[in-house]
Structure 1
């Protein structure tokens, strides 16, 4: 069932995001708008477009959410594998499951490390500049 829905969601998301789908939707709206005078812009005429768009939107939310959830999980898995196979700290694996407070603490740690790295880089550049100045 999961695999079937995943294929359906992917195919639907691809089709819904295509230029042809957009043109088809614009055409439907234009035909609906042009038909207004024939139906004296009645409540039923308005209800047709409101109901249609509501149903499509409601269903597409679930399809798109499913597709994004799977894409996000796949991306996280790829990032975790890159982290695991590199010299990066393993503490970053699975951080998408941390609480906001834990993420903020990890972010602050990364900012401190980045500042230290930048300070070291600045110091190294200054030393190289001094050596070049003495060598002349």
Structure 2
């Protein structure tokens, strides 16, 4: 649980404009020190090693936050399915299906949707479309 909280805060920090600016400044400082170190192997190794370590750690951080966001979306969709009378509640258990079963279900839904068209001139409720899409 602590890892989830820490990773969420780190992900927010890592994705901020301030962090991006810090990274640009660090790269610029590294580049400007090139002449001082005569662009030697150690100078290049510093940036290569630093970026490799940061990238390696960020993969796990991003995966953790992505898993969390996916779980949240699934829960929200599950709740919408649960309260919608016409929805098939069987959809709530899709996580237990294997890849072959999911593909078969996807084919069934494509078949249901074949021949159905959506008119862009009329809103789904039958009302005229709103000219300003920012309005609800």
| CA distance in 1 between partners of 2:111 and 2:87 (Å) | 16
Give the secondary-structure state (helix, strand or coil) at the position aligned to 1:63: helix
Deviation at 1:40, TM superposition (A): 0.6
Number of the residue aligned with 2:98: 99
The normalised TM-score by structure 1 is 0.79
The normalised TM-score by structure 2 is 0.79
Deviation at 1:97, TM superposition (A): 3.9
| CA distance in 1 between partners of 2:70 and 2:105 (Å) | 20
- Are the counterparts in 2 of residues 15 and 21 from structure 1 also a CA contact under 8 Å? yes
RMSD: 1.5
- Are the counterparts in 2 of residues 6 and 66 from structure 1 also a CA contact under 8 Å? yes
Give the secondary-structure state (helix, strand or coil) at the position aligned to 1:95: helix
Number of the residue aligned with 2:25: 27
Number of the residue aligned with 2:120: none
Higher helix share: 1
Number of the residue aligned with 1:123: none
Number of the residue aligned with 2:130: none
Which residues of structure 2 form unaligned runs of 5+? 118-136
| CA distance in 2 between partners of 1:82 and 1:94 (Å) | 14
| CA distance in 2 between partners of 1:15 and 1:94 (Å) | 35
- Are the counterparts in 2 of residues 80 and 94 from structure 1 also a CA contact under 8 Å? no
Give the secondary-structure state (helix, strand or coil) at the position aligned to 1:38: coil
Give the secondary-structure state (helix, strand or coil) at the position aligned to 1:37: coil
Matches within 5 A, 1:52-63: 52-63=50-61
Greater mean deviation of Cα atoms: 84-93 or 25-34:
84-93
Number of the residue aligned with 2:68: 70
Give the secondary-structure state (helix, strand or coil) at the position aligned to 1:93: helix
Q: Which structure carries more relative contact order (alpha carbon 8 Å, separation 6+)?
A: 1
Which residues of structure 1 form unaligned runs of 5+? 120-136
Give the secondary-structure state (helix, strand or coil) at the position aligned to 2:58: helix
